[in-house]
Structure formats: C-alpha cells, structure tokens
Amino acid sequence: MAFRFKLLYCPILWIILLLGQGNARAQFKEIAPGFDPKECDELLRLNFVFQDTTGNTTFDNFQKGYTFVYRSPSLGLDNMWDLWTRADSTVVILLRGTTSDMKSILADFYSVMMPAQGKIRLTKDKVFAYKLASSNRTAVHAGFLIGFAFLADDMKAKIDSLYSAGYHKYLITGHSQGGALAYYVSAWLHHQREDNIYPAIKVKTYASASPKMGNMYFAYDYDNITREGWSYSIVNSDDAVPEMPFTTQQVDIDMNEPNPILGMMKRFDSLPFFKRIIIKGAFNKMIKNAANSSKSYQKYLGRYLHDFVQDALPELEMPEAVKTSYYSRPGVPISLLVNDRYLERFKVNNGPYYHHGIIPYRFLLREYYDGLEPLQDDDIAYLLKGVYD
C-alpha cells in the first residue's frame, strides 16, 4: 500500500507501472466513440471494488487487463475515486457512489442548483475554479458539485502527470452517485480540452444508475460537447434512483424565449369575457403552482440542508444558488428494460434499492447484448450478501 501512495510523488514510477502492461494490449479495442457492451460490463464490474470493506487496496487480478494504481482518501462529503489503467494505456477513473455515511446521503439530498461554472472555496486556503459547461444558463446539483470539486482538486496533479507522460485516453465511470460525479468529471475534462489545457485528451463516459444532476441547459451543453457517442447513461427501467431528485419546470424560468406558453396568454384576450377569465385563471394557477413547488424544493432541499453541509464542511463557500429545480440527465440513453426473466430472478423483496445494484444492471446488459461472458459465482455472491449500490 505504501508503494501505491509513493507513486503520487514519483512520476517515473507512474510511467514504469503503466508501461508494464504492454503484453495484454491486443485484447482491447482502441478507445472510440460508440457504445461497447463489453467495455460497459467491465467498468460495471470494476465498480464493485468500492464495496470492499477489508482495507484491500491492491485488487490484484480483479479484472483481466486492468491494473489498480491509486485510491483517494475520503474527501468532501465522503467522496472517493480510484485510478486504474487498462492494458491499452487507457486511464480509468472510477467514482464511488453513495455510502452509509450521513455526509454522503446529505450530498444526495442537497439538491439546490448551482452555476455550472464558477469557484468554490474548499478550505480557508484553497479555492477551486471549475467549468462544467460554457453556457451561463447551465446549472448543476449542489451536493454532487461539492463532491466533484474535492475529487477534481485531488485528481488534477495526477492527470497532469499522466497527460505529460503521453496518456491521453480516459474512461470515466461511476454507479449511482458515482454516475452523477462521472458526468461532472467528464464535462470538466472535455472543457479542459476545449480550453487547450489537455488539447489531445479523449474522454469516454459510462454513467450507470445516475440520478438527474443538472438542468436541461446543462444536458444540452454536455450532450453537445460529448456528441457522436462519447458518453452513455445506462438505466435499469425498474430503478428508482434515476428518477430522482424531484423536478419541476417553471414556465417563466425554465423555457426558452420567445416562450410560446406565455405568448398564449395574450391570445386569450380575444376570447369572450367568461371564457377568457376561466382559461386565464386556470393557466395562472398552473404557473403559480409550478413556481411554488420549485420554491419548496429550493427551500427544504437547499437552504435548510445547507446548514447541515456547513456543519460537515465549515470552511466551504459555495456560489449563489440558481432559482430552478428543473432536473435532467444527459448522455446517450442505454435503457435496459426489465423482462420476465429479470423479474423471475430479481424479485422485489429486499429493500427499495434492490433494482439499483450493479448485478441487476449486468444481468440486463446480457439480456440485450450478445457476446458477454456469463455472470460468475463470485459476482452473484455480492447480490446474495445484500450489497446493492
């Protein structure tokens, strides 16, 4: 374990470790756009390493062709990331999902939105500048943004060293909260490329079971910068987590202009008096109810929870919140629809997150994509132990 952490301070050892994998390169395709079910399945399995409770940080032979390099300490709201390398010199970044720590759960529910570019004060002496989108209309989930900022601050020097050594291919992956964080890391690296910091970098993302983590304008921005098949959103159709957090679209804030809905109000003026009063009243009520719903989410899942976040991270200073709760999830959708075989295998009898686990996702992947090896007994053992996330 000590050797692994020495790698952080010795770039030569990094390079020696990474170059030592050359013999197995032939088994992997060159990183390329397009959904690769085998690649997706391998990354889903790699996410199992975050469920290890033995303190093991070597993971020798855990996944053929992949080598463990580094695990971060717990950062921010109990966030963690792993660095692995693949035999074709691709760097793999894994983001941990929600843990049982209350700080991690707080990150999920602290769902007020923040600007997708700006600065966050992590500690009294450290400010992290971030850019996850180019449009000033974009906004992202506050709890996940905090986790991303602490993780990216830890990643930056390591990615700098790898990039300088010629490692330009990156796979970003995570499950659950880790999937949401994968979008942020992916967006950050894509914009680092656009801003000529890593001009030759290639970034491909597989985010599985991710909750919604940005507004519609962020999704537009992200899908544009990852266009032509560089990012995928993998969802089990019976999984509740991708349906969260609560979302409300406000007519006057969350729609483009000219706004046809607001424009309709003027057209009602030509209606007879009583029809005009009834229809305008109904429209105004719907608009007001949506606005009140959004304000409630911002109040209880924003301002109220902010005090708990401040207790956990007393030196943290966030940007001013964006007054929206219109959540969306980006990425090319890979929708894994449950079928009779799945329902026979995965019965709803083991808690609300039963369909959220990695094994159900890997099972469904095999239902729709040929050429994947059968699930192994040691994989299924995770399910039997009741480990779902």
Question: Is 280 part of a structural domain of the chain?
Answer: no
Evaluate if residue 57 carries a pLDDT over 70: no
Evaluate if residue 5 carries a pLDDT over 70: no
Q: Write the pLDDT tens digit of every residue in 327-358.
A: 999 999 999 999 999 998 887 666 667 789 99
Angle, CA of 184, 233 and 329, to the nearest 5°: 60
Q: How far apart are CA 281 and CA 344, in angstroms?
A: 50
The reported pLDDT for the residue numbered 377 is 58
Cβ neighbors of 186 (< 8 A, separation 6 or more) are: 172, 203, 205, 207, 222, 226, 231
Q: Average of pLDDT values for 286-292?
A: 81
Question: Is 144 part of a structural domain of the chain?
Answer: yes
CATH number for position 354: 3.40.50.1820
Query: In which domain, by residue range, is 35 found?
Result: 2-245+312-384
Question: Is 299 part of a structural domain of the chain?
Answer: no
**Residue 91 pairs with which residues in a beta bridge?**
85, 170
Question: Is 195 part of a structural domain of the chain?
Answer: yes
Evaluate if residue 289 carries a pLDDT over 90: no
Question: Is 293 part of a structural domain of the chain?
Answer: no
Q: How far apart are CA 118 and CA 139, in angstroms?
A: 11
Q: How far apart are CA 258 and CA 301, in angstroms?
A: 31
pTM assigned to the model: 0.87
Question: Is 94 part of a structural domain of the chain?
Answer: yes
Q: Which two tokens stand for residue 98?
A: 């929600």
Q: How far apart are CA 207 and CA 344, in angstroms?
A: 26
Confidence of residue 388 (pLDDT cuts 50, 70, 90): very low
Beta strand 91-95 with 81-86 is: antiparallel
Question: Is 267 part of a structural domain of the chain?
Answer: no
H-run or E-run covering 204:
strand 202-208
Q: Tell me how many domains the chain contains.
A: 1
Least confident range of 4-8, 124-128, 178-182, 372-376: 4-8
Question: Is 257 part of a structural domain of the chain?
Answer: no
Evaluate if residue 31 carries a pLDDT over 50: yes
CB contact at 8 A, 232 and 35: yes
Confidence of residue 30 (pLDDT cuts 50, 70, 90): confident
CB contact at 8 A, 173 and 47: yes
